[in-house]
Structure 1
């Protein structure tokens, strides 16, 4: 597995998009299904920035994919929910992660998606991606409204966590204009800025617990800001993908109280033009044959199973995934 960064990564991915289109016999946004055993030689995996669980999980999945796709190599790309869906739709990515609330927007061509994305399908629904608002333990910030005049990192511009944060500010009649500054940066770097006092809060939709925040909790001390019930309700009315969620006390060792927030489910998707039915069946089977391994990466994967994935399905299931779920009795 090669992880290419910077300019080299960009050049490789552009070349990959062209090669993948040629191999699959498609052009542009075509929705022609791939041959049943089709697998690109270069598998671009749309993930997220270093420090988030998506990156850790995609690296683990890439290692397990090597035996089932021996003639292919995986390149993990630091993406995000919106950019991953756009990349999947364009054929730049063969597979990738997305947050549940962005999938129906992509399928219907809403908000950040100018056109409907019709050539992507769901392989599995993995775990709840939980909205966190993190401040230092000694901070005077107690609520979403208290972020007025404060410097905040909402993650990378255009990622689903940042878009969710904008929705939350809107729910309390606030916007970025009310903040003291916005720092667009990845989770790990944002943690460094919070530790050094250069920002006042980190917000984003991530796994719970997230190792980056666990480290801050034990070394510096943090608090999580709750969302008021009316904000949760407003978000759900705006997008059904925002679901009420409680971060249980003890999820982070020094935070004993329950924290009310929202979550969307992390979804693994594939490009239908690049990944055939047999290939996706093998991918789905691999995911669940290794479900105990994913739990060792994070307890957020503890509930992951075929039945859980089907019950919480987001988007249209790929025929290869559907065949596996029926085979193991998770769906009729």
Structure 2
């Protein structure tokens, strides 16, 4: 154990030395910035606007680097992009990151061993939205109903399967619609589905918009169901979606996962270190607060490693050691 700890300390010291040396090397050309990408999610979700803000932070405060935001199918799809190194960074749910790294079937047939953790951002509650005139008060009542379950390969689809499974319901027992969050809201308004699952930050537009134009409600997940869910899938936590957030809907108890940024292991340590530096700088946090104030309230150094169930990227590890978050 002591030998392993010594090796780890030596590796960290060497990495820190390389970061210092690389910072002394002049940029090859100010006209040719380093281009990197981040896979986000649906345009109507939270990943996409948060990624856009991070891109602006990079543009303003990280000279010589440009971050391009790519809309995607969200968590599962993003992990697969990381596996193929088709993106540099990605936003994913912490449960999906764990499934990816460990190759948990059927979602991942092979482990995504090159995925590395960078930072945990904010809780992502599962919203189960229904029309009030549907009479649906419990997940148990979804059997035989038309339900939007999230796009194929999304974290929402995984969460939907997990929750339905506690009630003994599979996709064969419902009329599943694999559609985006934005489409699901439209389908609910038009009465084309009876319920829709959304996993995303509190106040997500895809949930708020249908509540503005039609009478909606959120289905609760009670304590006994949560206990069974957590016993089987330990990444879930309880959360209360506050009343008034979605107009006249009162407090509703649900479950949540965490939104995290990940990278593939081939990304230079200095780039990851520098990215975290500008995000957690006062000016970076101010940018997030201006664009997504509710999300920004959760982003702190103290919570940056909450729910992190995959190995950290070396650049992130060094950053958190320097900040006293890791020992």
Q: Which of 305, 324, 329 pairs up with 2:319?
A: 324
Conserved? CA contact 2:149–2:160, under 8 Å? yes
Q: Are 2:122 and 1:133 aligned?
A: no
The DSSP-based 3-state class of the residue aligned with 1:306 is coil
- Paired residues for 1:82-231 under 5 Å: 82-111=76-105, 112-179=107-174, 181-231=175-225
TM-superposed CA distance for 1:79, in Å, is 2.7
Q: Which moved more, 1:304-313 or 1:145-154?
A: 304-313
1:306 paired residue number = 301
Label 1:51 to 1:272 Cα distance change in 2 as closer, same or farther (>3 A): same
1:44–1:77 CA contact under 8 A, matched in 2: no
Extract structure 1 runs of 4+ deviating beyond 6 A: 35-40
How many equivalent residue pairs? 296
Long gaps (5+) in structure 2: 1-14, 24-31
- Measure the CA separation in 2 of the matches of 1:175 and 1:51: 27
Structure 1 residue 270, shift from structure 2 partner? 0.7
- Greater CA drift, 144-153 or 67-76: 67-76
- TM-score when normalising by structure 1: 0.82
* Distance (Å, rounded) in 1 between the aligned partners of 2:314 and 2:233: 27
RMSD value, Cα: 2.3
Cα distance in structure 2, aligned partners of 1:82 and 1:40: 30
What SS is found at the alignment partner of 2:36? strand
Displacement after TM superposition at 1:170 (Å): 1.6
Looking at structure 2, the residues matched to 73 and 132 of structure 1 have their Cα atoms a distance apart, in angstroms, of: 30
Equivalent-residue separation in structure 2 for 1:93 and 1:48 (angstroms): 13
Give the stretch that moved more between structures: 63-72 or 167-176. 63-72
Instruction: Tell which structure's C-alpha radius of gyration is larger.
Output: 2
Ranges in structure 1 where 5+ consecutive residues have no aligned partner: 1-32
State the TM-score, normalized to the length of structure 2: 0.83
Indicate conservation of the 8 Å contact 2:83/2:113, yes or no. yes
User: Is this contact kept in 1: 2:148–2:178, CA < 8 A?
Assistant: yes
